Chains A and B, each alone.
Chain A
Amino acid sequence: MDFYRRYGPAVLRKCERMLGNRQDAEDIVQNLFIDLIRKGRTDVGLAYLYRAATTRSLNVIRNRKRRQELLDRHGEALRPRGMGTEGEVVTAELLAELARQLDPKTLEILVYAHQDHMSQQEISSLCGLSRKTVGKRLQRARVTLESLAGGAP
């Protein structure tokens, strides 16, 4: 439990930044730490936890997108209310849109660069990719971002 108390708050803040939603962030953090404790992997550091939390948060965002599509198909009446502030929803929505257009690794890199404010060198170390690869993937992601901003599909 010391492991959870030590790193839990940082991982929770990270997930909340990505999801814009405290409840979803808490669910991810709880499940992540429970899984690690069950496996006896309480010796991992914060960098590992950041990556695991990022992957899980992106999965939640993808699932949200699917849920949203279902809601759109089945009517406004089922739409949930009060899902965080407007800015937070925009963030999560954009991530969800990007999740449809980018491969998971590139999306992960984009989150590190734009949301966690990591340098390419830091992402390179965290993901085990060369800095050049990180740069190329970021370039690809930015093209997609720009096309989204311009309203292109």
Chain B
Amino acid sequence: MTAPMPSGCEVSWLRMEMYLLGDGGEAERDVVATRLQDCAHCRQMAAEIREDTRSLPMLPEVPEPWWRRLDLRWMVAPPVLVAALALFFVGPTADFPPAEVAVKGGNLAVETAIAADGRVQVRVTCPPGIEDLGIVVFEGREVFRPLEMPTCGNRVVAGAMTVDEPDDTMVCVAEGAAAVARPAQLGPMAACTPLR
């Protein structure tokens, strides 16, 4: 802690670990691969990870929750479909504070609310079948993308983000992470709502 990591590599440990695991998108992999070609420090970092072959401690036998052992897809799919459609047309239930403005874009609708602890809650309503959502937040002149993003199916991400300027914040979601890659080019298929 007395000094930053001596790596001198612009890629963080997390990004390097993800690259070596094959996680992350193609664009991200290209960036890291280029850094590995150009930067000896990055190669050293990668080597350090690869060479760490120490074994993991054994995990005791942990039973998975009973509902994970069942193949519930066919039992669950119809009710989920009905619930999702109901929420899509009727609106959210009372447990999620309604936002003053909820804007629909494409097949999506997004709502936000600020919890008592100041963190922002986000809920996306969308029809079943949408696997990949992208989210982007405009706070004043800042743009950022929280990693913990809402999934389709009306899951509320309770602490998706914290903002300093709630009066000047807009949250947008769109189908597909690529759709929010260029925030300036968000089209009518993105659902956006101001925070307040």
Contact = CB atoms under 8 A, between A and B. Distances in A.
Contacts of A149: 2
A13 interface: yes
Interface string B131-146: 0000001011010111
Interface string A111-153: 0111111110110111111111100100000000000010000
Contacts, number: 131
Contacts of B23: 45-46
Given A34-B59, A34-B62, A40-B65, A90 B2 contact: yes
A5 B56 contact: yes
A149 B116 CA distance: 36
B95 interface: no
Contacts of A62: none
Interface string A49-81: 010000000000000000000000000000000
Nearest to B68: A40
Given A10-B17, A34-B62, A122-B15, A129 B56 contact: no
B62 A8 contact: no
B160 A128 contact: yes
Nearest to B146: A128
A128 B149 CA distance: 9
Contact of B159 (A26, A124, A128): A128
Contacts of A128: 119-120, 146-148, 159-162
B144 A46 contact: no
A48 B148 contact: yes
Interface residues of B, number: 47
B142 A122 contact: no
B146 A125 contact: yes
B47 interface: no
Nearest to A7: B21
Nearest to A12: B56
A46 B18 contact: yes
Most chain A CB within 10 A, of B11, B12, B139, is at: B12
Interface of B: 1-5, 7, 9-15, 17-18, 21, 23, 49, 52, 54, 56-57, 59-60, 62-65, 67-68, 119-120, 137, 139-140, 142, 144-148, 159-164
12 contacts: A10-B49, A13-B52, A33-B59, A90-B2, A116-B13, A117-B13, A122-B12, A122-B15, A127-B162, A128-B160, A130-B137, A130-B140
Given A12-B56, A115-B1, A115-B5, 19 more contacts: A4-B59, A8-B56, A29-B57, A37-B62, A38-B64, A40-B64, A46-B23, A47-B14, A98-B1, A105-B162, A116-B12, A117-B9, A122-B15, A129-B144, A130-B139, A130-B142, A130-B163, A132-B142, A132-B164
